């Protein structure tokens, strides 16, 4: 049987059974109209429809970029039609996209790649698009889209978890909630490493910069969401505070986060200046801030570098802020102090490359050898060990967590046994 690598798009109507129960004739007529639009866009983008039962559409594309472009285009057009249609004239679709190896039989396609696309469609938000990580890897930086991490999904009849992302269609079409939709709950105790990225403010009078601010902020959320040590609030929740006068403490309590990231973008001729500040919500103080300069014609290359720098620095600051509470006194051995500082430089970027995390563990271990009573070295060694395990789960055996716990316990013992001052 022939096999090939292809991209599968699956689409389905939200609440179709309920619509049919209310008015079969009207629903079928509306479906034919919407399908005519969808089918035409799929064909324009080089797609081939090979499955169509009831309200569902399944198509294959040679390119994941073209598949995603077609989905964005017909979802945008459907949204426009729904905005002007009466309530009984609205029809909303979900879309799932996956890339994988399929079997070909009599102009039909079979296999997990098809099943996963259909299951991702069911996980998508109404009028939304949900894609697998394999699709993201192929289209990232090729389309002006952002991604919101959906996590590892347990899909029906699929034996393994599938990492998925929600597509945020356009940097020129920012999405946010209104202030009236802002969360009203208050959280007694926020999770460690919980973070909200606020909408970056536009400090220039160039309206186009509004679009860049929204896209950049959403890209940052997507990048930060990939780090397991952080719990990042969705853009819909944090962007609702774009015009608020509430204090960081109030925002932190309502969103249930310990940190918020604020920033601004200023256009100065051919250059951009991006400023960012990380604020501890409980204390209301800035624990990190920086400015980044970039040429406009280099913005897509520079954006990746900015996000990587921000991610690595924020992860390092969040961990440092938590660890500082149990930080020991100065070491007796200055060599150990120097080794810890070197280790921290690699640890901050441990989530970007595995080699950085391994190098950090190496430096912290050398610091402990130089000064067995240096508690700070033990604390960071435990943190870096956990980072390495995220990259390579079997690296330190099944009992690595117990080892880290023992290290942390020893560190606390050292701190507690040292005289104050």
293 and 371 co-located in one domain = no
> What is the per-residue pLDDT across 123-149, written as a single tens digit (0 to 9) for each?
888 889 999 999 988 887 677 677 888
96 and 126 co-located in one domain = yes
24 and 131 co-located in one domain = yes
DSSP 252-298: HHHHT-SEEEEEEEEEETTEEEEEEEEEETTTTEEEEEEEEEEEGGG
The CATH code of the domain that includes 106 is 3.30.70.1230
Residue 22, domain member (yes or no): yes
> What is the per-residue pLDDT across 231-247, written as a single tens digit (0 to 9) for each?
788 777 788 787 788 88
> Which residue in the block uniquely carries the two structure tokens 């059974």?
17
Least Cα distance to 14 among 124, 176, 116 occurs for 124
Residue 319, domain member (yes or no): no
Residue 320, domain member (yes or no): no
Residue 73 to residues 39, 50, 56, 81, Cα–Cα distance (Å): 12, 20, 18, 13
Residue 194, domain member (yes or no): yes
Residue 213, domain member (yes or no): yes
111 and 245 co-located in one domain = no
Give the contacts of 166 (CB within 8 A, at least 6 positions apart): 124, 125, 128, 129, 130, 147, 148, 150
The CATH code of the domain that includes 201 is 3.40.50.10610
Residue 30, domain member (yes or no): yes
Q: How many domains does the chain have?
A: 3
213 and 282 co-located in one domain = yes
pTM: 0.44
Residue 317, domain member (yes or no): no
Containing domain of residue 407, as a range?
327-417
Residue where a domain stops, chosen among 278, 311, 344: 311
288 and 223 co-located in one domain = yes
Provide mean pLDDT across the span 206-215.
69
206 and 301 co-located in one domain = yes
Candidate from 9-23, 176-190, 346-360 with smallest mean pLDDT: 176-190
46 and 163 co-located in one domain = yes
pLDDT of residue 418: 46
């Amino acid at each position: 049987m022939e096999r090939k690598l292809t991209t599968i798009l699956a689409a389905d109507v939200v609440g179709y059974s309920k619509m049919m129960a209310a008015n079969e004739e009207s629903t079928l007529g509306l479906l034919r109209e919407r399908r005519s639009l969808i089918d035409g866009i799929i064909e324009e983008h080089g797609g081939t429809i090979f499955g169509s039962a009831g309200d569902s559409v399944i198509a294959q594309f040679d390119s994941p970029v073209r598949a995603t472009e077609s989905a964005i285009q017909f979802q945008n057009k459907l949204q426009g039609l729904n905005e002007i249609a009466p309530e009984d004239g609205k029809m909303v679709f979900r879309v799932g996209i996956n890339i994988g190896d399929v079997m070909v039989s009599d102009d039909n396609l079979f296999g997990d790649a098809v099943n996963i696309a259909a299951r991702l469609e069911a996980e998508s938000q109404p009028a939304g698009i949900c894609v697998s990580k394999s699709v993201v890897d192929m289209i990232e930086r090729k389309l002006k889209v952002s991604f919101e991490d959906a996590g590892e999904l347990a899909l029906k009849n699929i034996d393994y978890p599938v990492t998925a992302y929600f597509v945020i269609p356009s940097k020129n079409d920012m999405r946010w909630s209104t202030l009236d939709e802002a969360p009203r709950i208050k959280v007694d105790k926020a999770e460690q490493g919980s973070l909200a990225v606020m909408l970056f403010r536009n400090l220039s009078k160039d309206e186009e910069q509004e679009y860049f601010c929204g896209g950049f902020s959403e890209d940052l959320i997507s990048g930060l969401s990939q780090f397991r040590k952080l719990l990042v609030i969705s853009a819909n929740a944090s962007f609702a505070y774009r015009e608020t006068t509430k204090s960081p403490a109030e925002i932190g309590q309502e969103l249930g986060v310990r940190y918020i990231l604020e920033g601004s973008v200023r256009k100065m001729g051919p250059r951009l200046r991006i400023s960012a500040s990380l604020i501890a919500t409980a204390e209301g103080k800035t624990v990190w801030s920086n400015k980044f300069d970039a040429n406009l014609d280099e913005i897509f290359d520079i954006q990746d570098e900015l996000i990587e720098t921000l991610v690595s620095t924020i992860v390092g600051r969040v961990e440092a802020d938590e660890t500082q509470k149990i930080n020991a006194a100065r070491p007796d051995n200055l060599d150990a102090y120097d080794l810890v500082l070197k280790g921290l430089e690699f640890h901050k970027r441990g989530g970007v490359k595995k080699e950085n995390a391994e190098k950090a563990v190496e430096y912290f271990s050398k610091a402990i050898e130089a000064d067995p009573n240096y508690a700070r070295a033990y604390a960071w060694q435990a943190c870096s060990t956990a980072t390495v395990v995220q990259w390579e789960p079997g690296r330190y055996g099944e009992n690595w967590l117990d080892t880290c716990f023992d290290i942390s316990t020893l560190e606390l013992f050292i701190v507690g046994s040292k005289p104050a001052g």
